Amino acid sequence: MLEKFVVRVNEKGILMRDGDFRQILGPGRYRFLPFGGKVTVSAHAQDTVMSAEAVVDYLLQNRPAEAEEHFVVMTLKEDEAGLRFENDVLVEVLPPGARRFLWKGLKAHRLERFNLDAGAELPAGMTIRLNAANLKSRAVAGLEGILAAQVPAYHIGVLRIDGQVDRLLEPGLKAFWRFNRDIQLELVDTRLQVMEVSGQEILTKDRVGLRLNLVASWRFTDVARAFAAIGKPVDYLYRELQFGLRAAVGTRSIDAILENKQDIDEMVAAHVQGKLAGFGIEVASLGVRDIVLPGEMKDILARVVEAEKAAEANVIRRREETAATRSLLNTAKVMEDNPVALRLKELETLERVAERIDRISVFGGLDQVLNGLVSLKAG
């Protein structure tokens, strides 16, 4: 009984008999007699990578002309990487040692090789093409083998290769091979930045626990020097701000801290400046933003403030009473020597009394009232 197989127009067939390769079949309908062993035909799409690598290896070794007729062979050495193109469109990034066997006919295949020992950075033109390909809807296979980085404006890129700082990158688009090396890129903002050291629980000299929040404004003055001297400059700055704050608070009493916070700021600034000298980092300003007291200490300080204000009010009241008494004494001395002044004082008192009377009944006329109440004598 004949065995029938169909190879479509966009496919190639691999004819096997009892598991051994016999030949490559083009598109068409095939019939085989079952004599001589079991026959199988596997169809392979011509627009995909040939998956039966053992068949291609057999042809390359034993029938190279047939391999040349049907396949485009791409092989890379261990120190090479490659970019595979189909019809001049990038479709795959190939790692070192990669092998690709592609059917000839439907598409034009091309491979660009790169020597990894020559450097980690890709050429600028290829970087632009990679970025354009990445933005398209069709994904490029193997892009994880390339580190593509966009360094923004006002930033510097710190490139590390195998744990060592290799160089600094200016703003722009860069791409680097990840193969055969550990490569990392850290973006550094060169503008003035703000760092907060929050929630620091510190004991004062007199054993009072405080919670403080510190804010500092800082910038890189020399990125290369900072990363050459310190593994993680930002973490180092944060720790030194912590240490400076703890040293400043721990050597002062609670009263001294609350009386003048400026001393704390100055001590922390002096500590940090000394620790950052020559490291390419500048602290423009810093200050304690908040001082949070424990609950019982708030109650104690509230009572102290209340007592102080009560004492101040008592002093002011006594001072006013003394001034009023002195004024009365001076008035009495004036009226003792001047009867006219005495009578004027009496009239003033009478006026204040009259202000509280709703109605006054006068008998004998207004002249009699005045003459009876006030009598001025010259003397």
pLDDT averaged over consecutive 10-residue blocks of the chain (379 residues)?
Answer: 85 89 90 81 88 89 91 94 90 93 90 92 86 69 89 93 91 92 92 92 84 93 91 93 92 83 90 92 92 67 66 80 79 73 70 69 57 49
Q: How far apart are CA 374 and CA 92, in angstroms?
A: 120
**CB neighbour list of residue 289: distance below 8 Å, 6 or more residues apart:** 213, 214, 215
- Using alpha carbons, select from 268, 153, 139 the residue that is nearest to residue 202: 268
Instruction: Supply the pLDDT for residue 304.
Output: 61
Measured in whole angstroms, the distance separating CA 90 from the mean position of its chain's CA atoms is 35
Output the pTM of the full model. Answer: 0.64
Q: How far apart are CA 64 and CA 107, in angstroms?
A: 21
Judging by beta carbons within 10 Å of its beta carbon (0-12, 13-18, 19+), is residue 205 exposed, middle or buried?
A: middle
Instruction: Supply the pLDDT for residue 223.
Output: 93
Q: How far apart are CA 55 and CA 24, in angstroms?
A: 10
Measured in degrees and rounded to the nearest 5, phi and psi for residue 11 equal -125, 165
Pick the CATH number of 193-293 from 3.30.479.30, 2.40.50.140, 2.102.10.10, 3.40.50.720: 3.30.479.30
**CB neighbour list of residue 141: distance below 8 Å, 6 or more residues apart:** 91, 92, 93
The helix (run of H) or strand (run of E) holding residue 218 is: strand 209-220
C-alpha triplet 96, 79, 146: angle, nearest 5°:
55
- Using alpha carbons, select from 175, 172, 171, 161 the residue that is nearest to residue 191: 171
| Contact between 162 and 182 (Cβ < 8 Å) | yes
| Contact between 182 and 161 (Cβ < 8 Å) | yes
Q: How far apart are CA 220 and CA 373, in angstroms?
A: 91
The helix (run of H) or strand (run of E) holding residue 283 is: strand 281-292
Spell out the domain ranges in the chain. Answer: 1-41, 46-115, 119-191, 193-293, 338-379
Q: How far apart are CA 316 and CA 172, in angstroms?
A: 71
Q: How far apart are CA 312 and CA 315, in angstroms?
A: 5
- Using alpha carbons, select from 213, 164, 152, 241 the residue that is nearest to residue 188: 152
Place of tokens 């600034």: 269
Judging by beta carbons within 10 Å of its beta carbon (0-12, 13-18, 19+), is residue 246 exposed, middle or buried?
A: middle
Q: How far apart are CA 5 and CA 41, in angstroms?
A: 7
* Residue 272 structure tokens: 């940090």
Angle between helices 339-354 and 295-337 in degrees, nearest 10: 130
